[in-house]
Structure 1
Amino acid sequence: MSKVIRGSIFVVDDNIDTDQIIPAEYLTLVPSKPEEYEKLGSYALIGLPDRYGRFIAEGEIKTRYPIIIAGENFGCGSSREHAPIALGASGVEAVVAQSYARIFFRNCSATGELYPWESVERLCDLFETGQEVSIDFEANQLTNHTLGKTYELKSLGEVGPVIDAGGIFAYARQTGMISRA
């Protein structure tokens, strides 16, 4: 069965850092506590400049954008795992970026919060926030239904099954690398 994510997109450009994804003042929230996990998600991308608009609507705790389209070096800055956790808690399922900071990419798989797809083309210059897209996991393609165009994505490779499992520890238990106890 082929996996597909479909929804509206939120578009940002280059060098979106972890302080923009989740400012340091919210790092006291403990993601393992359900109420704090949800609260952390409500602050996702609150550090972005005003020119992007609101990622989470006023009075809401979840975003209406399950997919983020980004430019180069998404997730740069600190090594905080809170960044992909906040995005996942907000309702984001995938980020499609031209490139990632290595530690952010790794934290996506370690936490199992969201899929870090890499685009072949620079999509952030072609797309606009609010457009409807879908990501076909089997075909490694993103279709912009608003524009009626399909774009190639780089394969998730070994990261896909780790995220499917819910993160590195869940994957290790699932595959017998560590005890299920």
Structure 2
Amino acid sequence: MEAFIRLDAKAAPLPLANIDTDQIIPKQFLKTVEREGLGKGLLFDYRFDEQGVEKPDFVLNRPEYKGVGILVTGENFGCGSSREHAPWALMDFGIRCVIATSFADIFYNNCFQNGLLPVVLKADEVQALADEAKGGNHVMAVDLESQTVTSPSGKAFRFEIDAQRKEKMLKGLDAIGETLEREKSIDVYEMKRALAQPWLEGA
């Protein structure tokens, strides 16, 4: 998993509440367990009409937001089913940080396991960022070490994050990576167990 330390990127405003995982990545795109390629289905029903033609007015289709890396959205983002494809689709599209007033618990947890940073801010702070993201300059900075989001105009907002989750994001550790950090201790344990209980090894 790629480490997240600081992200300087375009931010797109999507001021909608209760965007669920079926809207983030509709069910027709869940036939794969591969992470690559899911970006094409991200927010599909918002981005395309019934004929599959891009809706030019939707924020992620507008040329000024091409290459967006931050999404500023509404409360309860990621509600609905527990599909891990949702953070996969966001990241495959290029988005590495989502800022909202609240997230659904399972989606929030899945984000950390996949290197996507979910940032919770107060409603007025999210609104301020969304308003600036609508302007001509919509490049923001998300600094995980200092736990701050800095708007294009220079306003800084501090967010809270669990210390263990922060450390794992800074190091780029998912569940497997976290386990491998303890590889030497695991090897020592297995050697001691093999000597003390050889029958468990089939000896």
Q: TM-score, normalized by length of structure 2? A: 0.71
Aligned length: 167
Q: Which among 44, 48, 58 is matched to residue 53 of structure 1?
A: 58
CA distance in 1 between counterparts of 2:60 and 2:182 reads 36
Local SS of the residue matching 1:55 = helix
TM-aligned CA deviation for residue 123 of structure 1: 3.7
Note if 1:160 corresponds to 2:166: yes
How has the CA–CA distance of structure 1 residues 123 and 11 changed in structure 2, closer, same or farther, with 3 Å as cutoff? Answer: farther
The equivalent residue for 1:94 is 97
Q: Which among 76, 80, 88 is matched to residue 77 of structure 1?
A: 80
Q: Which among 133, 146, 150 is matched to residue 139 of structure 1?
A: 146
Structure 2's unaligned 5+ residue stretches are: 48-54, 188-203
Is the Cα–Cα contact under 8 Å of residues 21 and 48 in structure 1 kept in the other structure? Answer: no
Local SS of the residue matching 1:162 = helix
Q: TM-score, normalized by length of structure 1? A: 0.78
Q: Which among 109, 133, 141 is matched to residue 106 of structure 1?
A: 109
Local SS of the residue matching 1:134 = strand
Is the Cα–Cα contact under 8 Å of residues 22 and 46 in structure 1 kept in the other structure? Answer: yes
How has the CA–CA distance of structure 1 residues 18 and 70 changed in structure 2, closer, same or farther, with 3 Å as cutoff? Answer: same
TM-aligned CA deviation for residue 51 of structure 1: 9.8
Structure 1's unaligned 5+ residue stretches are: 32-36
TM-aligned CA deviation for residue 52 of structure 1: 7.2
How has the CA–CA distance of structure 1 residues 162 and 29 changed in structure 2, closer, same or farther, with 3 Å as cutoff? Answer: same
How has the CA–CA distance of structure 1 residues 29 and 115 changed in structure 2, closer, same or farther, with 3 Å as cutoff? Answer: same
CA distance in 2 between counterparts of 1:168 and 1:106 reads 12
Higher percent of residues as helix: 2
TM-aligned CA deviation for residue 104 of structure 1: 0.1
Local SS of the residue matching 1:158 = helix
The structure with the largest alpha-carbon Rg is: 2
The equivalent residue for 1:44 is 42
Is the Cα–Cα contact under 8 Å of residues 66 and 94 in structure 1 kept in the other structure? Answer: yes
TM-aligned CA deviation for residue 169 of structure 1: 1.8
CA distance in 1 between counterparts of 2:20 and 2:42 reads 12
Aligned-pair identity (%): 29
How has the CA–CA distance of structure 1 residues 139 and 165 changed in structure 2, closer, same or farther, with 3 Å as cutoff? Answer: closer
CA distance in 2 between counterparts of 1:51 and 1:122 reads 29
Local SS of the residue matching 1:47 = helix
AA of the residue aligned to 2:161: S
CA RMSD of aligned residues (A): 2.7
TM-aligned CA deviation for residue 99 of structure 1: 0.8
CA distance in 2 between counterparts of 1:84 and 1:52 reads 24
Local SS of the residue matching 2:38 = helix
Is the Cα–Cα contact under 8 Å of residues 71 and 122 in structure 1 kept in the other structure? Answer: no
Is the Cα–Cα contact under 8 Å of residues 144 and 166 in structure 2 kept in the other structure? Answer: no
